[in-house]
Every structure is written in C-alpha cells, then in structure tokens.
Structure 1
Amino acid sequence: MQATSTATIFNGCEFSVFNAKEGVSDEQLIAASLKMEQAFLHKEPGFIHHALLKGDHGAWADTVFTHSKSAAEQICQNFMSHPACLEYLQLIEDGSASLTFWNRAH
C-alpha cells in the first residue's frame, strides 16, 4: 500500500503538545477539535491536513500539515481570532501548550 497523498505533498507543519483542563473529557476535546477543523482550518490557504493525537498520562498533540512552514505560521496567527478556535483553546490547560513550526526535511 502506498503512502497517502498528504504525506507526499506537505512541506510544513505546526506541532503542539498540551494537556486538557481537568474535567474535560476526550469526547469534548475531540468535538471541539473537529469543529475547529471544519469551521476554520479547511478554509485557510495552505492547509492540507489536521490530526489530533492522544498520548499517555493526559498528553495530547495537535498537528496541522501545510504547504509550507510560513503557511503554518500564518494559520496560527489567524487561529487566535476565530470563535471555533477560541472554544478549542478554552479546553486546554493554561500554560501546558508547547507550539513549534517545522519545515519538511525529506
């Protein structure tokens, strides 16, 4: 089986790790993530794919694949003013998020 087209066309991404606020269920976080993806990300220039990942001990990772690192940075700037994104942020534990931007190396 071949890799998906997303793997062959993205050249940048935003990668963040965070913890959900105490009392926030997995279902709430996933629903807010899907709402943010539909209402915001799918309309942003350079957006390719979004993934929400769940780790151990309450850790989460959110990744946005884009056409370039600069597109990922621009999407992040726009993120802070969209209502669906702000709803998503309300579920994240204050001070727990670490956000980085990446260029595809290979």
Structure 2
Amino acid sequence: MVQTTCPAPNFNGCEFSTFRAKEGVSDEQLIAASLKMEQEFLKTESGFIHHTLLKGDHGAWADTVFTHSKSAAEQICQNFMSNPACLEYLQLIEDGSASLTFWSRAH
C-alpha cells in the first residue's frame, strides 16, 4: 500500500468551484493561468494553505483552495476580483458555468 500525506493537513476551510473552460481554451492554457493565479495571488493571501486544479470528464474542471478557515476562503474570494492574474484566469472560464461553494472541515 502506498502511503501519502495530505498536502494541506491543517486546513479547516475551503472554497470549491466547478466550471467549464471556454471553447477553444486548451488544458495547457488553463493550467498555466491557474498556476499564475496561485503564484501571484493565492500565495500572498492571509489564510491560504494549498490550491489544486482538478480535471474531470467531458470538459469539467474543479478548483479547490484550502484555507485556515471557511471565513478565510470567503475573504480570499472577495479579494479575487481585484487581482489581474485572477481576472486572466476568469477570462478562460465559460460564462455561467461556474459553481462556487465554501466549506468548513467536519473531521
């Protein structure tokens, strides 16, 4: 059995969003924009712990931000729209496809 460790063992909150990329946007473009957003925005935000981008079936994507608390995730989201790297990332997401939720760790 392979042992793994959680990349964010001390998280107590997260933001979880699902979306679809705009037609014509490549996986490479979306991944590059996600990494840029992480470096230029998320890593500078108070309460940020870890970020991951997940690819599902049939063009589905999920973006998860692990934080110290649910309120930290909500605050980071409020700050998101004022960062140029975040706006570049948003430009690649199909209008109306995003579903954004906030969570508190239960266990």
Shorter-chain TM-score: what band? over 0.9
Gaps of 5+ in 2: none
Q: 2:6 aligns to what?
A: 4
Residues 56-88 of structure 1 deviation map (CA, whole Å, 9 limit, x = unaligned): 000000000000000000000000110000000
Tell me the secondary structure at the aligned position of residue 71 of structure 1.
helix
Q: 1:38 aligns to what?
A: 39
CA displacement at 1:4 relative to structure 2: 3.1
Preserved CA contact (<8 Å) 2:7 2:50: no
Tell me the secondary structure at the aligned position of residue 32 of structure 2.
helix
Sequence identity percentage: 84
Tell me the secondary structure at the aligned position of residue 19 of structure 2.
strand
Change (3 A) 1:88 1:3: same
Alignment of 1:27-106 (within 5 A): 27-106=28-107
Q: How many residues align?
A: 105
Residues 14-56 of structure 1 deviation map (CA, whole Å, 9 limit, x = unaligned): 0000000000000000000000000000000000000000000
Aligned-residue RMSD, C-alpha: 0.9
Alignment of 1:5-24 (within 5 A): 6=8, 8-24=9-25
Preserved CA contact (<8 Å) 2:20 2:97: yes
TM-score, normalised on structure 2? 0.95
Q: Which protein has the bigger helix share?
A: 1
Partner AA of 2:104 in structure 1: N
Gaps of 5+ in 1: none
The 2-side partners of 1:102 and 1:90 are apart by 25
Partner AA of 2:70 in structure 1: K
TM-score, normalised on structure 1? 0.96
